[in-house]
Amino acid sequence: MKRILVVDDEIGALTLIGIMLDRGGFEVLKARDANQALSTLENDTPDLLILDVMMPGIDGIELCRMIRGRSATAETPILILSARGDAESVMRGMDAGATDYLPKPILHHDLVAKVRQMLNMNTVAE
């Protein structure tokens, strides 16, 4: 089972995303802020990370840079989910090392499909 670390300071969003991913067949790890996420990453290397941008202290963009700077997670897919969907915010996320960027709110099907795509899980044997 693929493991995903979700980082979001809003408990409602964290819970909702967790439910979506759980129903999609993923094991979900959760962190409420960047420090908790980095602490989790000291002991665990998930298959994919989902980051919120707007968080107190270290935001999702800076956290993305920090994750990319660690050898254990330098290649781990990172999806940024943010209420900020403007071009500048998307570019900041991609420049920080995000694999992809999706605007909130997100539908269950779209999130699960994107995660599967990023993990190369929906490749069909020919």
Give domain limits for the chain.
3-118
**84/89 Cα distance (integer angstroms):** 6
The alpha carbon of residue 68 and the mean position of all alpha carbons in its chain are separated, in whole angstroms, by 13
Band of residue 123 on the pLDDT scale cut at 50, 70, 90:
very low
CATH architecture of 3-118: 3-Layer(aba) Sandwich (3.40)
CB atoms < 10 A from the CB of 102, how many? 18
Judge contact between 35 and 58, C-beta under 8 A.
yes
Please, are residues 37 and 63 in contact by the beta-carbon 8 Å criterion? yes
What letter would DSSP give residue 85? -
| The pair of three-digit structure tokens given for residue 47, joined into one six-digit string | 């298959």
Q: What pLDDT was estimated at residue 122?
A: 55
Q: Are 104 and 81 in contact (CB under 8 A)?
A: yes
pLDDT at 63 over 60: yes
Whether the pLDDT of residue 36 is over 90: the answer is: yes
Mean pLDDT of 31-41: 97
The span from the CA of 3 to the CA of 26, in Å, is 6
